[in-house]
Amino acid sequence: MPTATHSLLKKHFNLDPTSAKILVVGLGSTGISVARYLKKMGYQFAIIDSRKHPPLMEEFFNLMPDTPVFTGGFDDAAFKVATHLVVSPGLSLNEKSIIKAVANGSIVMSDIDLFACSVQTPIIAITGSNGKSTVTTMLGDMAKAAGKKGVIGGNLGVPALDLLNEEAELYVLELSSFQLERTSTLNANAATILNISPDHLDRHSSVAEYAREKQTVFNGDGAMVINIDDPIVNSMIEAQRKTYTFSIKTTADFYLTQQPACEGDRHTTENEYLMFQNHALLALNELPLEGRHNAANALAALALGHAVGLPFPAMCDALKKFKGLEHRMQRVAILNGITWINDSKATNIGACIAALEGYQTKVILIAGGDAKGADMNELAPIIQEKAKALILMGKDAALFNDALIDTTLPIYHAENMQQAVHLAAQCAHSGDHVLLSPACASLDQYKNYQDRGNKFSKAVLALAH
């Protein structure tokens, strides 16, 4: 039986259950979530994947043994009959088969489009180069503290379509540039771009194009949450829209400042506070996270939560209890007075800069991997300022060398993580911090950034023995 969702999909994409032939491109976790959704909604579809043996193929066959699946390349015949394409985020829209299909009239949709047409529940949408997962998780905790059924996912953890739940009272979606570049129907109740720094330039032709894809998160008429410390994001403000600003550098709707704390009539020492307008919400020292960039993340979460009606006491209570995420400025151990920090999630320059800026003293930095086309000259000044030694690994280590060619900073090279950790231990003294913040992707040497971070933690803990 046709539903309101069917009507919206037909309106936006001319998606008719009786005539549409949908090709799901990519058999990963997103592709399987799309397949489950399409089957439930009664649409005809097939799956295609360029890999001969996609890692989730057996799981898919167990779920839907009668669904046509093409593997081992992109068969033009499959694309030729498709009226619609749902392309997984991991695949570029510049694939020849996709370009040809679009030229022949195929309509491209994303899983986020399907999701947006399926819910009337409030949505918070979060993107940016760094901090997305932290802010998304903060908001999930805030919703729970406020007594609301909030569900989180998207680019983080559970694919968006697998989140669909009649009991949900709030959806919090982390969204990547790859998801947003193929999304047209999202109209989030509150949305933010946390920051823009060079990332994924192997897929996007320039930082400007990357920022334009991110800006899609602001489509619609919901509240905009704007980081005024980031000039690219700040330029996206729309005068006619409801907007909340945040900053850790200056006054904004949500900001960080120093003011005296009071006990009765007696003023105590100054402390930094997370503020909303003239109201102190939370002392910064009550936020149990390392680095000032996490103050910005907390302010963004407060602004987004406020935009959808979450009460400040519950949100602040959630922040006080927030322990951070694995591989994001995660303290692994303190050994012989040396603090070891796992920031493997720092897969781009901006994340590494944010991590380094959070330290008042110089650190021993472990970096390198797949730079994804980024220019390491942008990272060189902060490394010069904040690092006492640099240990490099991975396929693009030479880019760091080239950017720091005139430095007197000690630079060492490691073949693997164990060697990098041993070199760092030789450089470090009691009171030092050793920071794994690679500024690069991990796939040149590891399964993912989690695998890289786990190997770092294992190597550090092995030092104790």
Which one is catalytic: 6, 84, 132, 455?
A: 132
Task: Let me know if 465 is a catalytic residue.
Answer: no
160/115 Cα distance (integer angstroms) = 7
Three-state secondary structure call for residue 426: helix
Task: Let me know if 132 is a catalytic residue.
Answer: yes
In single-letter form, the type of residue at position 200 comes to H
Which one is catalytic: 6, 84, 130, 155?
A: 155
Three-state secondary structure call for residue 13: helix
392/362 Cα distance (integer angstroms) = 17
Count of other CB atoms within 10 angstroms of residue 462 = 11
* 382 membership: H or E segment, kind and range: helix 380-386
Strand 363-367, strand 69-71: pairing? unpaired
162 touches 35 (CB < 8 A): no
159/4 Cα distance (integer angstroms) = 22
CB burial of residue 193 (10 Å; 0-12, 13-18, 19+): buried
* Closest to 242 (Cα-Cα) out of 229, 231, 253, 230: 253
432 touches 391 (CB < 8 A): no
Please report where in the chains the tokens 């933010």 appear, as a residue.
192
Task: Let me know if 155 is a catalytic residue.
Answer: yes
First to last CA, the chain: 64
307 is written with which tokens? 């935009």
Return the exposure string of 295-316: e unless at least 16 CB atoms fall within 10 Å of the residue's CB, then b: bbbbbbbbbbbbbbebebebbb
Please report where in the chains the tokens 């979450």 appear, as a residue.
310
392/445 Cα distance (integer angstroms) = 13
* Closest to 227 (Cα-Cα) out of 331, 322, 350: 350
- For 258, residues 6+ apart whose C-beta sits below 8 A from its C-beta are 270, 271, 272, 273
* Closest to 176 (Cα-Cα) out of 377, 395, 368, 348: 348
254/267 Cα distance (integer angstroms) = 24
258 touches 251 (CB < 8 A): no
Which one is catalytic: 200, 204, 214, 327?
A: 200
* 423 membership: H or E segment, kind and range: helix 417-427
Catalytic machinery residues = 132, 155, 200
